[in-house]
Amino acid sequence: MPAIVKISNLSKSYRRDSIRIPVLENINLEVEAGDFLALMGPSGSGKTTLLNMIGGIDKPSAGDVFVGDVPIHRLSDAALATWRARHVGFVFQFYNLMPVLTAFENVELPLLLTRLSKTERRKHVELALSIVGLQDRINHYPRQLSGGQEQRVAIARALVTDPTLILADEPTGDLDKNSAEEVMTLLSQLNSQHGKTIIVVTHDPRAADKARSHRNLDKGELA
Amino acid sequence: MAIPLKYSIRSLLARRMTMILTVFGITLVVFVFTAVLMLATGLQKTLVGSGIDENAIVIRESSNTEIQSFITRYQAGVIQTLPDIALNADGQSMVTGEVVALISKNRRDNSRPGNIMVRGIQPMSLSVHKDINLTSGRIFEFGQTEIIVGKRIAERFQGCGLGETVTFGMTDWKVVGIFETGGSSFESEIWGDVEQFLPALGRPVFSSMTFRLKDPAQFSQVRDRVKSDPRMTVDLKREKQYYDDQSRQTATFIRVLGIVISVVFSLGAIIGAMITMYAAVANRTREIATMRALGFQRPSILLGFLTESIVISLVGGALGLLAASSLQLLRVSTINWDTFSDLTFDFALTPNIVVTVIIFSLIMGLLGGFLPAVRASRIKIIEALRAE
Amino acid sequence: MWVLRLILRNTGRHKLRTILTILGLAVATMSFVVIRTLISSWYASAEVIPPNRLVTRNAVSLVFGLPLAYEDKIKRVEGVESVGRGNWFGGLYNNDPKNFFANFAVGPEAYLDMYSEFVLPPEQRADYFNTKNGAVAGRRLADRFGWKIGDIIRLTGQIYPGDWEFVLKGIYKGSQQGVDENSFIFHWEYFDERIKQTFPEMGGEAGWFLVKISNPKQAAGIGAAIDDIFKNSPAQTLTETEKEFSLNFLAMMDSLIAGLTIMSYLIIGVILLVLVNTMAMSARERMSEYAVLKTLGFKTYHISGLIVGESLLLAGVGGVLGVLLTYPVLDGISRALQGFFSGFAMNSLTVILSAVFMVVVGILAAIFPVYRALRLSIVEGLRHVG
């Protein structure tokens, strides 16, 4: 399998009052297409920062990040936005659905940036919602859904554009045990049945069990 | 137990942007409100300042102003010989007959005409009326075509400066002096010799008479006695009262219009305060629940939030007052609708206005803060603590 | 379209805040429009005066009259079509100063005809001229006191003492908006006759002459020609167009008008503050949503569009509501301040101006939230859990 994510010599540090705080040091990582990778590590280890860098919502201080063949560390903010819309689907710990939009509309949101017609969009959205098993919750607003359901809507939103990569940051962090199990099963099905490349950041070993491969981050370094 | 003021103030400072906007809104409203009150008060002060309580003015019955009035020779004779008139140091009775008229002159600023009140006076007028001081030049000579000009008119109208010539009634009048009267409406007049003015203005008789009362407390008795003569179709008024009446129409207009505008204006500010306070309550649901859990009673919470909105409104009110007080440096000229003459006056800030304005700001704060504070005090502890 | 939908739903999130904001904007817009309408109504009454009328008055002061003999001399000036005379009467209805309205004596017949903008039914006109103490009142004035044709109206003179009784024979309407409908006029001949009986020294004088000219372009020349005739007489004249005369009168209270104008702009300031406050609050609460939209690949203009759109929507609804509110309020004011205004003409400029201000305010209020939303880094925004 070819590597779909190639990270070389990546470092990231923040500045706070002229003090440099290193978060990631000299990271090298390759993720193969079709992998389901769990990035593990204690809180503060920089795993979310690394994920953000892969998803193009944060930029490295040094080093290269290639996704597919695209050097995303070199893209402008506007180009990154276009790239993200096409290639990345995000799943967040707190779901981050738009409270004023229904489940359907939330999932449709990323498709509004494409040229798809209204009927095509509807088809895609319905397909995505049926994959996550929420076809009967189409017109519900987020506040009418349970946490697990909300997260499944978020996953549908992440996969509706058929992205190269699905990135999930602590997707089970806010869920009870059963819902967490369901969400992780769903992600692993997306990987096994739909061939999606998925990277999950988590510190929950039980959630990480569903992944195919595991990497550990500690104090900004990959183990 | 009450919530300490410190807490309220720190909470306000935590949301600086919103608070500043709200305070500024109230500042604007208070500024307008204060300015209007100052304007109306300034107008009244200027006119009322022209009158003295010990003086009585005589005008024709049912004419509200000197402009519309005339006193027949018979009436003038009766007034001049009243036994109730005070005597000056030289033993002369302090009574004076005057003629007034409006003349039209162009303004210096836009060359548009304005009406100026001209007043022909007798030598005694200078002692009967209040503090007349020449700022430059000299007093006109009786028997000559000379005039002195109130300083507001000298500043504001073409050809009315010292040494210039004002033409009316087919006569050229030389300006030989500029006078001031401590801010009263006389400063918006032109004075000359009544014996010169009467023929020039085509008037056979005085417009009004003014006299100093020997015993000011006897005013109503004097009035009743004069009026008991059926030929005395005149009105006697205390001079102060007369001038107060003169300011009534314009001052009322300014006040009514201004207060209506201010009230509407204040709706905007109250709504602004309400929005701010509702947001404060919403953002602090958990905080409020915690305080309740710590044992603060509902009334204390209510009071705490009311305090916040009152602090906002008082700060805004103080700033508005401060800004408006700088208006005292400004001078306003407008037509007085009671006399149709041009009148210049200042914005006047009085303790009365300050108190009114503070109460006005307090009310805005209370109205803006009350409903949000009620909502805050009604928050249920358990639910709110669970809310994120 | 989806942007619109999102904007609409966003404004519905804090219903109370949205309602309060719109209410605030509406009230402020309303006062802006009302103040400007008051001012423009004053000027409007001067604007509708036909340009072919001149007023000749005593050069020294309006308080002084002019000899009647002047009338024939003015008539002979080239370009003059007809001349009439008028006197300010200054009577009070029921002797109450609150009942103030303009009342004056005019004559001869030609005077009324010069007022082409006063529309009076022919039979009422004939009735008026057949009644010695007949009078004609404007529609608004008649409405104000509930006068009907044939009513006896008693005025108490302030300049000319005594009680005067008139019979209302006609009620005129303005030919267009802005025409004064608050005046009360009666026969000059009746007026002069009575004055001569009671105050012989005051009669036989005209307060002013109204001069109709054939060519409005010659107004200045004819005015100068008239004033020239009386240059060396005891009563010099000042002739100007009636319009100029009205504008000069307005100029006497220009500082009040300036004050009102300043106030109307301060009101825009209040509108701005209310909206800025609301928008800043809404945007602050939605930072994490903006971050998500950015993550999904939405661009700067999408997000600015959302914020600016919401701000404009609030400003727009508030503005429209405010303008609509103006009508009942103006109605109330004209009822409360009768005698001061001759009907309100809402100026299209005022409406356009308030629309422009609403757009400007809407955009200004969005600037700060847009700036924050655009500067927001996604990583920061996502941490901002809503």
Within 10 angstroms of residue A79's Cβ, the number of other Cβ atoms is: 13
Overall average pLDDT of the B361-368 stretch? 91
- State the residue range of the domain holding B41: 5-48+246-386
Q: Does A14 touch chain C (CB under 8 A)?
A: no
- Three-state secondary-structure class, residue B330: coil
Give contacts of B68 with chain C, Cβ < 8 Å. Answer: 90, 158-159
Confidence label for C364 from pLDDT (cuts 50, 70 and 90)? very high
pLDDT at C201: 67
Q: Report yes or no: B342 and B114 within 8 Å, Cβ to Cβ.
A: yes
Q: Are residues B307 and B270 located together in one domain of the fold? A: yes
Asked if residue B250 and residue B195 are part of one domain, the reply reads: no
User: Quick one: which H or E segment has residue A26?
Assistant: strand A19-32
Q: Are residues B34 and B65 in the same domain?
A: no
pLDDT confidence tier of residue A192, bands split at 50, 70 and 90? very high
* Domain contains B240: no
Q: What band does C81 get if pLDDT is binned at 50, 70 and 90? A: confident
Q: CB distance from B21 to chain C under 8 Å?
A: yes
- Tens of pLDDT along B212-268? 999 889 899 999 988 888 888 888 999 988 888 888 777 887 888 788 878 877 888
Copy the structure tokens of residue C267.
Answer: 């009101």
Report yes or no on B151 lying in a domain: yes
Question: Under DSSP, is residue B304 helix (H, G, I), strand (E, B) or coil?
Answer: helix
pLDDT value of position A125: 94
Q: Do residues C21 and C361 touch, judged by C-beta distance below 8 A?
A: no
Query: pLDDT tens for residues B4-16?
Result: 677 777 777 777 7
- Do C21 and B32 make contact, defined as CB atoms within 8 angstroms? no
- Give me the sign of the Cα torsion angle C137, C142, C148, C152: negative
Tens digit of pLDDT for each residue in B259-296?
887 887 788 888 888 888 888 888 788 778 877 877 77
What's the one-letter identity of residue B87? L
Query: Cβ distance B370 to B305 under 8 Å?
Result: no
Same domain, B70 and B136: yes
pLDDT at C339: 55
**pLDDT tops 70 at residue C384:** no
Q: Say if the Cβ atoms of C379 and A57 lie within 8 Å.
A: yes
pLDDT digits (tens, 9 = 90+) for C115-137: 888 888 888 888 888 888 888 98
Whole-model pTM: value is 0.77
- Domain membership of residue B220 (yes or no) is no
Residue C199 to residue C355: CA distance in whole angstroms? 58
Q: Where do the domains of chain C lie? A: 2-45+253-383, 60-235
Q: Which residue has tokens 């990631």?
A: A24
Q: Same domain for B162 and B252?
A: no
Is C300 in contact with A92 (Cβ distance < 8 A)?
A: no
C-alpha to C-alpha distance for B161 and C164, rounded to whole angstroms: 44
B143 with B251, same domain: the answer is: no
Percent of all residues in chain B with a pLDDT value above 90, rounded to a whole number: 27
CA–CA distance, B357 with B38 (Å, rounded to integer): 11
Question: What number of other Cβ atoms are within 10 A of residue A115's Cβ?
Answer: 6
- Residue C360, pLDDT > 90, answer yes
- Could you say which of C291, C297, C379 has the minimum Cβ distance to residue A81? C297
Answer yes or no: do B24 and B77 share one domain. Answer: no
**How far is residue C316's CA from residue C319's CA, in Å, rounded to a whole number?**
5
Confidence of residue A35 (pLDDT cuts 50, 70, 90): very high
Whether B235 maps to a domain, the answer reads no
Nearest to B261 among C238, C255, C263 (CB): C263
Enter the tokens of residue C181.
Answer: 């409908």
Q: Specify the range with the lowest mean pLDDT, choosing from A95-109, B21-35, B52-66, B302-316.
A: B52-66
Q: Which among A52, A78, A96 has the least Cβ separation from residue C288? A: A96
Among partner residues B28, B102, B276, which is closest to C266 by beta-carbon distance? B28
pLDDT one-digit tens code per residue, B309-345: 899 999 999 999 999 999 888 888 887 777 778 888 8
The residue-averaged pLDDT of C55-84 equals 82
Residues 6 or more apart whose CB falls under 8 angstroms from that of B219 comprise B56, B213, B236, B238
How many Cβ pairs closer than 8 A exist between chain A and C? Answer: 61
Sketch out chain A's domains with CATH numbers. Answer: 3-212 (3.40.50.300)
Residue B113 or B121, more confident: B121
Determine, for residues C64 and B104 on separate chains, whether the beta-carbon distance falls below 8 Å: no
State which of B167, B193, B212 marks the end of a domain. Answer: B212
Residue B113's Cα: distance from chain center in Å? 24
- Residues on C contacting A at a C-beta cutoff of 8 Å: 2, 5-6, 9-10, 12-13, 288-289, 291-300, 377-379, 382, 385-386
| Mean pLDDT, residues C270-281 taken together | 86
Of B212, B232, B262, the one marking the end of a domain is: B212
Report CA Rg, chain A. Answer: 17
Q: What pLDDT does residue C165 have?
A: 87
Q: Is residue B352 predicted with pLDDT exceeding 90?
A: yes
Q: Is the dihedral of CA B155, B42, B253, C159 positive or negative?
A: negative
pLDDT at position C342 is 55
CA distance B196 to B170: 12
Candidate from B232-246, B370-384, C19-33, C138-152 with smallest mean pLDDT: B370-384
Cβ contact (<8 Å) for A110 and C9? no
Chain mean pLDDT for chain C:
83
pLDDT (tens digit per residue) in C319-337: 999 999 888 888 877 776 6
- Summarize pLDDT for C162-216 with one digit per residue, the tens: 788 888 888 988 887 777 888 888 888 888 888 888 777 667 788 888 888 888 8
Contact C274 B104 (CB under 8 A): no
Measured CA to CA, the distance from residue B181 to residue B130 in angstroms comes to 7
| Torsion angle defined by CA atoms of residues C105, C107, C111 and C113, in that order, rounded to the nearest 10 degrees | 110
Q: Which tens digits make up the pLDDT trace of C155-176? A: 888 777 778 888 888 898 888 7
Confidence of residue A126 (pLDDT cuts 50, 70, 90): very high
List CB contacts (< 8 A) between C385 and chain A.
94
Is it the case that residue B197 has pLDDT exceeding 80?
Answer: yes
Q: ipTM of the predicted structure?
A: 0.83
- Give the mutation candidate from B12, B18, B20, B21 for the C interface (greatest C CB count, under 10 A): B21
**What secondary structure does DSSP assign to C210-262, as a single string?**
EEEES-GGGHHHHHHHHHHHTTTSSS-EEEEEHHHHHHHHHHTTHHHHHHHHH
* Mean pLDDT on A113-124: 90
The mean pLDDT of B79-101, rounded to a whole number, is: 90
Token pair belonging to C11: 């404004």
Give the count of domains, chain B: 2
Query: Within this chain, do residues B151 and B278 fall inside the same structural domain, yes or no?
Result: no
Is the residue at B229 inside a domain? no
pLDDT value for B256: 82
What is the spatial distance between Cα C270 and Cα C29, in angstroms, rounded to a whole number? 10
Q: Are residues B282 and B173 in the same domain?
A: no
pLDDT at site B386 = 61
Cis peptide before B123 (omega within 30 of 0): no
Total count of residues recorded for chain A: 223
Contact yes or no for C277 and B22 at CB 8 A: yes
- pLDDT of C386 > 50? The answer is no
